[in-house]
Structure 1
Amino acid sequence: MNEAERQDFRALIKTRLAELSEEDARGAAGKATVELDQQSVGRLSRMDALQNQAMAKATDARRAGERARLAAALARMDEGEYGTCEDCGEEIAPGRLRLDPAATRCVDCARG
């Protein structure tokens, strides 16, 4: 992988990190505490609100995981190891990295 490709992938990763931050901001309201007063919210509405809150928290956890994987990819770039399969040491196909810039294994090793 040449330096221009590496910079393209760095920009792709930083763009995705910015998108994750925007998604965090939009999803903040969904994680808010559900009102316990049954006078203002019926039981089924409250159950629905609790389910929506749980889904928002799960989505937040997924974004946090993706953010960690992308940060690790940036660290591998700084170490000069980005784009190299962690199992076999071969180069990861650029197409695979475009789909998942945090990929750490080539297609063959990922298949098992």
Structure 2
Amino acid sequence: MTHIEEADIPRLKQRLLERRAELLDNAAQREQSAATVELDQTRTGRLSRMDALQGQAMAKASQARAEQELRRIDAALQRIERGEYGDCPQCGEPIAPARLEADPAVVLCLDCATRRQNR
């Protein structure tokens, strides 16, 4: 299997840093959307309250996904700093460059990810 070129790592690192900054920039908006819904029965109809609660639940799910993505990005940046980026920690084989291009924060090679998913 081919290994990612050393020259590609700074470009992938920059993509990770840009995505991290984007997620952090949008964090305040996600937190506001996920805030507790005020249920004032005199001002809001039943359907509006249901919509507000559903919107809050969706915002909380979005916030959780963003936090998970931030953890993945931070872990990838740490692997870059340690010189371990591009190698699967489970089997030690290189992660396909196309896989890293698609998602620079990916941790496992395709074989190990498939095995983990099929458990």
- Equivalent residue for 1:102? 105
Give the alignment's Cα RMSD to 1 decimal.
1.4
Counterpart-to-counterpart distance in 2, 1:29 and 1:103: 29
Counterpart-to-counterpart distance in 1, 2:110 and 2:60: 31
Q: Among 84, 91, 95, which residue is 1:92 paired with?
A: 95
Is 1:42 aligned to residue 35 of structure 2? no
Q: Which amino acid aligns with 1:30?
A: S
After the TM superposition, which of the residue ranges 89-98 and 18-27 deviates more from structure 2? Answer: 18-27
Name the TM-score, length of structure 2 as normaliser: 0.85
Counterpart-to-counterpart distance in 1, 2:87 and 2:114: 16
Classify the secondary structure of the residue corresponding to 1:52: helix
- Equivalent residue for 1:59? 62
* RCO comparison, higher one (Cα < 8 Å, 6+): 2
- Equivalent residue for 1:71? 74
- Equivalent residue for 2:9? 6
After superposition, what is the alpha-carbon deviation per residue over 1:41-72, rounded to whole angstroms, capped at 9, x for unaligned? 11221011011001101100100000001000
Q: Among 74, 77, 83, which residue is 1:80 paired with?
A: 83
Counterpart-to-counterpart distance in 1, 2:19 and 2:77: 12
Q: Which amino acid aligns with 1:46?
A: R
Counterpart-to-counterpart distance in 1, 2:83 and 2:42: 60
Counterpart-to-counterpart distance in 1, 2:114 and 2:31: 36
Q: Among 13, 17, 30, which residue is 1:27 paired with?
A: 30
Unmatched 5+ stretches in structure 1: none
Counterpart-to-counterpart distance in 2, 1:36 and 1:83: 49
Q: Which amino acid aligns with 2:46?
A: R
Aligned length: 112
Counterpart-to-counterpart distance in 2, 1:8 and 1:57: 32
